[in-house]
Chains A and B, each alone.
Chain A
């Protein structure tokens, strides 16, 4: 990788031992990508290709079979407050109130702070997600959308250097999702945190991300493309779809999910020569708007790339 990224993922692979002496199950391998400081990166891929596994390895909750992750030139080995995680199922502690769930994180991050300061700081972030009035309610008394907001408030309040979100809006209805997406943009623009987010929603990715990473289907999945979303900010849900480049990007992403994710899947693995001679395979960088590509030419281009690889 030529660029000096803030987070660097090199040749990451995850294998699970096969059943009774069978071949190992390789979920993904040869994953290479980077994230710049302050960048918002989304990753899209079909269910089961290993997105959550990558995120958990980034979080330090899971171990890679091969490869390395560096953050700020230090190798990631184990969980750290430097990296905050928002899990798909919110992961709030149900016996604590909304506020206590947030102070739980803040106290762990800033143990030297006074009680008042911790509460004040936590309330600020609850206010950012519009939950100031629910501070003393338990998670069970909140709707799914409100719970996810608390979870986001907790993650942002600990001010990690890298924020990891695993399909944070997957379980929410469209209306709630839209509202929280906008809150997320707002809070991200205010804090300028580096974000890595899994989503299965193409529109969500375009709305939020600076760059979208595309993963091929598993097994032997890998990050095949890195698509730049060069739509200027601030973006809004209602206006972003009217940007001339919106459908160029959208078509590119949808087309990947519909056909190329399957075509490219296992492509490298099937030719063991190539695998051994090219240890580092960077994702193909694509900027659909700048290149003025339409879906047709892109399809041809990618196939050529596979052949020439």
Chain B
């Protein structure tokens, strides 16, 4: 009894899913042939069955197909979903970690020295609101490589939340803890690693979570632009093939992978969390 009470939300979730899928399935059935066509449909030459959104059953079927052999490679326009996702993940992680490598140390400096905050803040404020995709033409021109340009776009969009959160977290470390370090004659470097870093870690991790979320949003768009490989390119390619079943399936996969990325960082963030 208690068990059911504690898990009622799962029942509601499932009910919600069933309703949505049911309505979707029912709504995407082709109309019965016996039904008279409306005047408009007559004018347009009948109901175009190709243009219908595929029903969930078709998508589940496609998912089974694709996921049973996710890594097949049959030429540039026909690769398994696993390969496409791996390309995207590689770019996102590459750009993200490069950004972390730069953003966290700079954030530290900005957070520790108010003068650096004042000096760099105007640049951050003006660069931060630029859509990462706006960098794409410039990146392509300078780097001359679509792969590296995609990584650069991820880099530039992940850098800001990490930079700002690190700076904030570092500047916000309780004065008392800094004083503990000072009365123990810790060097600046040791203070940074043994006091400031653990104290600011939860805030830094929050920045990293925001960054990876944005990076995963941006990679799809970036790959649609540069083409070739990746989940973004895959979606666009399937759209060009008018294969809506694959489009919807890959949309769901994008959501799933994004969720896993966030879960990964949230478990790291739980690990560095502390209670005062």
Contact = CB atoms under 8 A, between A and B. Distances in A.
A93 B250 CA distance: 46
Interface string A134-156: 00001010000000000000000
Contacts, number: 54
B258 to A, nearest CB: 29
A85 interface: yes
Q: Size class of A's contact patch?
A: 20 to 34
A83 interface: yes
Interface string B233-276: 00000000000000000000000000000000000000010111
Most A CB within 10 A of own CB, among B182, B183, B184, B275: B183
A61 B176 CA distance: 11
B183 A59 contact: yes
Contacts of B184: 81, 104-105, 108-109, 158
A61 B183 CA distance: 8
A99 B194 CA distance: 15
A275 interface: no
Given A61-B179, A93-B195, A140 B274 contact: yes
A259 interface: no
SS of A interface (majority):
loop
A81 B180 contact: no
B177 A93 contact: yes
Contacts of A79: 179, 182-183, 185
B252 to A, nearest CB: 39
B167 interface: no
A140 B274 CA distance: 8
A80 interface: yes
B170 to A, nearest CB: 15
Contacts of B274: 94-95, 138, 140
Contacts of A140: 274-276
A89 B177 CA distance: 11
A281 B276 CA distance: 44
A87 B176 CA distance: 8
A91 interface: yes
Contacts of B199: 93, 95
Contacts of A93: 177, 180, 195, 198-199
Given A81-B185, A108-B185, A91 B176 contact: yes
B186 interface: yes
Contacts of B176: 87, 89, 91
Interface of A: 59-61, 79-81, 83-85, 87, 89, 91, 93-95, 104-105, 108-109, 138, 140, 158
Which 7 A-B pairs give the minimum distances between C-beta atoms?
A140-B275, A108-B184, A95-B274, A91-B176, A79-B182, A94-B274, A95-B198
Interface of B: 176-177, 179-180, 182-186, 194-195, 198-199, 201, 272, 274-276
